[in-house]
Amino acid sequence: MKALTVRQPWAGAIAHQSKRTENRSWKLPAKHEGARILIHAGAQPDKDAQVYGPHLDVYGAVVAVATITECHFSVAGLCCGPWGFERAYHWTLADVVALAEPVPAKGALNFWTPQPDVLAAVEAQLADTTTAI
Ligand SMILES: [Zn+2]
């Protein structure tokens, strides 16, 4: 599984709110369409973001797992409200699972490969979730 670093509060909004659209300036490479990825909260916040709620103050950690279902360019006023920005690529997310215990990790630009211990810690939590159900 690859990881994608998203600044807070956006990463937390994916994990704990209804954010299912990731805004990017670049088109999703086709090979990542349908991929299950780790959502990593970056070390630096987006100070202009106006999103509030619990769990949005976790930095430098994997906070969720999600599937990227597809990518399209914004259609002004018509799609992905309220999370989708205008004039941006919208990467749509599904099957989001928030991690009860964020897993510390150093982020990177673009898609990146998590260290084996990070991946193992995430997968252990996903296994616990499955058991609980
Ligand atoms: Zn959209």
CA pair distance 10, 83, nearest whole angstrom = 9
Per-residue model confidence (pLDDT) at position 78? 80
Distance 101 CA to ligand 1 centre (A): 30
Least confident of 63-67, 82-86, 90-94, 112-116: 82-86
Distance 77 CA to ligand 1 centre (A): 9
Distance 10 CA to ligand 1 centre (A): 16
Per-residue model confidence (pLDDT) at position 130? 59
Distance 110 CA to ligand 1 centre (A): 20
Q: Which residues are within 8 A (CB) of 114 and not within 5 positions of it... i.e. 6 or more apart?
A: 1, 2, 3, 38, 62, 105, 122
pLDDT single digits (tens) 84-112:
999 999 999 999 999 999 999 999 999 99
Distance 106 CA to ligand 1 centre (A): 29
Q: 41, exposed or middle or buried, with CB in 10 Å at 0-12, 13-18, 19+?
A: buried
Per-residue model confidence (pLDDT) at position 128? 78
Structure tokens at 92: 């749509």
Distance 64 CA to ligand 1 centre (A): 21
Q: Which amino acid belongs to residue 58? A: V
Per-residue model confidence (pLDDT) at position 44? 95
pLDDT single digits (tens) 13-50:
999 999 999 999 999 999 999 999 999 999 999 999 99
Distance 35 CA to ligand 1 centre (A): 18
Q: Which amino acid belongs to residue 55? A: H
Instruction: Classify residue 106 as left (phi > 0), alpha (psi -120 to 50) or beta.
Output: beta
Per-residue model confidence (pLDDT) at position 3? 98
CA pair distance 89, 52, nearest whole angstrom = 24
Question: Quick count: other Cβ atoms within 10 Å of Cβ 103?
Answer: 21
pLDDT value at 133 more than 80: no
Residue range 65-90: mean pLDDT, rounded: 93
What is the chain's length?
A: 133
Q: Taking the mean position of all CA atoms in its chain, how far away is CA 22?
A: 7
Backbone phi and psi for residue 25, each to the nearest 5 degrees, phi listed first: -85, -10
Distance 3 CA to ligand 1 centre (A): 22
